[in-house]
Chains A and B, each alone.
Chain A
Amino acid sequence: MKVNHRVTMFFVSVLLGAMLTVQFTALNRPKAEDVEPYVDNLQLTAELSQERERNRYFESDLKRLENQIRMFESKSDNHAAIAKAIEDELAKTKRLAGTTDMVSNGLLITIEPPSNASLAVGTATYPMLLGELLYQLCQTLNSNGAQAVAVENHRLTSLSSIRTISEVITNVNRTAINTQTITIKAIGNIEQMKIGLNTMKPTFIEYLGKEIKAQEVTNGALKVPAYDKPVDFTYAKPEGDKNL
């Protein structure tokens, strides 16, 4: 067989192979793809897992509420005991919401210009990042065992805000703080919080030219004040029976 005959045969065979593959792919791909948008299985699995997690949370919450009802029912003949149980529950809720003072062991953290001047020399600072980095620092503390955190004695709760207004003004809980030296009080697992804190130190030096110092308070005298702004929901409503 001549060379050009071989080339022709080879070329045609390649073409035939490609045609076969195209036909095979067309007939064997999922039919759903042609009639409805493609749905990612991974996304569905993740959503299912999230729904299961939510279901578990609701079940545990339901169990807790049922226990509470049983407790109230068992004390139904004793009004004083009921009042005490309700009072305890209210105190616990206030504590969790951050509307009561907390006193315990923890860290007293200060963010200030570095004592060693050589650390700040030649370092360009970005004061507009203060709010963002402060927020990151508080999140780091929260994820490392902090149970109550206050920045410049402003308690951080789910209603709190940390916002940069200008290069010299940063607000915490809608109140301007002194941006030169910032004090943070954090109650919780001291060792774990120190680990989290160490991860943020280089960032503060690099972007703000400020040093983070932490002082351990182990005599149980560290006081984190309560959230002092009025808690009032204008638009939000509690989830009632109708919504369930």
Chain B
Amino acid sequence: MIWIPVVGLFLGVLIGFTFDLTVSLQYSSYLSIAILAALDTVFGGIRASLERHFDSGVFISGFFFNTLLAALLAFIGVQLGVDLYLAAVFAFGVRLFNNIASIRRLVVSRTRPPSGGQAVGRHE
């Protein structure tokens, strides 16, 4: 089911280019943090679906909540003069790498045939 997010991403990119949506440069830093959070959520969702405990409610709420929270954190950081966005970058960055690593492990373990069974089968 890995093709669903790939197709969705492609369609989203197509929509973005077709409607020529732009955001002012002063808000692009918030959007970049929000994208990081969204990426984390999507990879988390892929991992959950591979582990067969995917929940739509958690996924959707996580996507919007994380995205908005990250952007809000960056905004507050700018207002306070503290680079709070670094906290979001660090947190989501680590989670992103963890999720990708888990997905990799799951995919590899699924593609690898069970060694014992094959050997028995061959001998049979």
- A interface list, Cβ under 8 A from B: 1, 4-6, 8-27, 29, 34
Could you tell me the dominant secondary structure of chain B's interface residues?
helix
Instruction: List 17 other contacts, CB 8 Å, given A21-B15, A21-B21, A22-B31.
Output: A1-B54, A9-B4, A9-B42, A9-B49, A10-B5, A12-B60, A13-B11, A17-B8, A17-B11, A17-B13, A19-B34, A20-B9, A20-B13, A21-B16, A22-B16, A25-B17, A27-B25
Interface pairs A-B: 8 shortest CB-CB: A17-B12, A21-B16, A13-B8, A13-B5, A14-B12, A17-B9, A18-B12, A8-B56
* Complex alpha-carbon distance, A69 and B113, angstroms: 99
Q: Which of A1, A19, A26 contacts B22 (CB 8 A)?
A: A26
* Complex alpha-carbon distance, A5 and B25, angstroms: 35
Decide if A25 touches B16 in the complex (CB within 8 Å). yes
Contact status of A12 and B35, CB under 8 A, knowing A17-B8, A25-B16: no
* Complex alpha-carbon distance, A8 and B56, angstroms: 6
* Complex alpha-carbon distance, A34 and B21, angstroms: 15
Contact status of A17 and B16, CB under 8 A, knowing A5-B49, A23-B31: yes
Q: In the complex, what's the smallest C-beta–C-beta distance from A35 to chain B, in angstroms?
A: 10
Chain B residues with Cβ below 8 Å from A34 are: 25
Chain B residues with Cβ below 8 Å from A12 are: 5, 8, 38, 41-42, 45, 59-60, 63
B23 within 8 A of A: yes
B79 within 8 A of A: no
Decide if A9 touches B5 in the complex (CB within 8 Å). yes
Decide if B16 touches A20 in the complex (CB within 8 Å). yes
- B interface list, Cβ under 8 A from A: 1, 4-17, 20-25, 28, 31-32, 34-35, 38-39, 41-42, 45-46, 49, 54, 56, 59-60, 63
* Complex alpha-carbon distance, A20 and B60, angstroms: 18
Chain A residues with Cβ below 8 Å from B13 are: 17-18, 20-21
Chain B residues with Cβ below 8 Å from A27 are: 25, 28
Chain B residues with Cβ below 8 Å from A22 are: 16, 21-23, 31
Decide if A21 touches B54 in the complex (CB within 8 Å). no
Chain B residues with Cβ below 8 Å from A14 are: 8-9, 11-12, 15
Contact status of A16 and B23, CB under 8 A, knowing A1-B49, A9-B8: no
Q: In the complex, what's the smallest C-beta–C-beta distance from B103 to chain A, in angstroms?
A: 14
Q: In the complex, what's the smallest C-beta–C-beta distance from A183 to chain B, in angstroms?
A: 60
